[in-house]
Amino acid sequence: MKTVVINLLYCIKGRAFQMLWISLVVYSFYDTFIYYQEAPQFYHLRKMLGTGLYISRGTASVLNISCALVLLPLCKRLNKLLYRMLSKIWPGLFFFWLERAKSFHITVAITLVLFAVIHSISHFANLCNFSRYYNDEIKDINFANYKNENPMSLLLSQPGLTGVAMLIITSLMAMTSLRTVRRKCYNAFWYTHHLYLPFMMLLIVHPLSGALKEQVLKVEDGMVAGSGYMNHDNVTISTEFVPIQSKLGGAVEISPRALVVLKPALKVGLNLNENLKESSFSIPT
């Protein structure tokens, strides 16, 4: 029994990093998935895209983490800095990092490839839904130009082309990283891995088009010009659709004075998810 426990502890110690990494990946995906499933500013986008929205955004959060960390183990300047810092304090820790650096890089790279494929499939489903469920009432939320537009023409857009290019680069890196390919043609492995520079440039450009949009509520106060009084009848809520922001960004822009009027209206049971379909409306006093 004692031997079994010792072997189990050694196994956990050897797989501690993989367990921590899997936990981080699962948490990041789940947290983002639930956020886009429940946040009110994505109500109309959810109706149009469905599950494809949650999966594409959840995988995107994991890909962002993976892309930020995949190069760190092989960064020479970082390793030199760590050596200078840890050699004087705890030399053994630096050599422990060097032993784990390769496995760290491989683990993150496998995660990147896997979630890149899932992300691409979910976004192709989103392109089909953008075309199929074109919204004639709220045209700002559409990515397609008209109903039943060919999804392949949407794929030729800026986010589509950059996404396909990144997927090709990732696939080339993954295939040339296989041990059999590396042994037979090491130069292929070497040169394809230098494609990380255009990959990072494409990663920056990819989300700039703002294809996915969230609903932003703007509350304008009814302050009478030249006076210190607020006209409650003039307080209005206007809605517009803007490219999605980070989870830390708010979906409501409210002036401090208008918030005084907005709070009672919210207590009455104002449903911001379903009732804000008009461009603007007045809050009853």
227 and 151 inside one domain = no
pLDDT of 141: 87
6 and 132 inside one domain = yes
User: CA–CA distance from 110 to each of 23, 166, 277 (Å)?
Assistant: 15, 15, 43
127 and 228 inside one domain = no
8 and 139 inside one domain = yes
Specify the length of the chain in residues: 285
Residue that is last in its domain, among 156, 177, 203 = 156
pLDDT, averaged in runs of 10, over the chain (285 residues): 56 70 93 91 89 93 92 78 73 69 87 95 93 86 88 89 94 92 88 91 89 77 47 63 66 41 39 40 34
Inside any domain, residue 179 = no
Q: How far apart are CA 251 and CA 261, in angstroms?
A: 18
Inside any domain, residue 167 = no
Beta carbons within 8 Å of 70's beta carbon, 6+ residues apart: 105, 108, 109, 112
How many domains does the chain fold into?
2
Inside any domain, residue 10 = yes
Q: How far apart are CA 280 and CA 278, in angstroms?
A: 5
Residue that is last in its domain, among 139, 156, 173 = 156
Residue that is last in its domain, among 138, 156, 174 = 156
Inside any domain, residue 274 = yes
Domain that holds residue 25: 2-156
Is 0.85 surpassed by the pTM of this model?
no
pLDDT of 255: 40
pLDDT of 220: 63
pLDDT of 175: 93
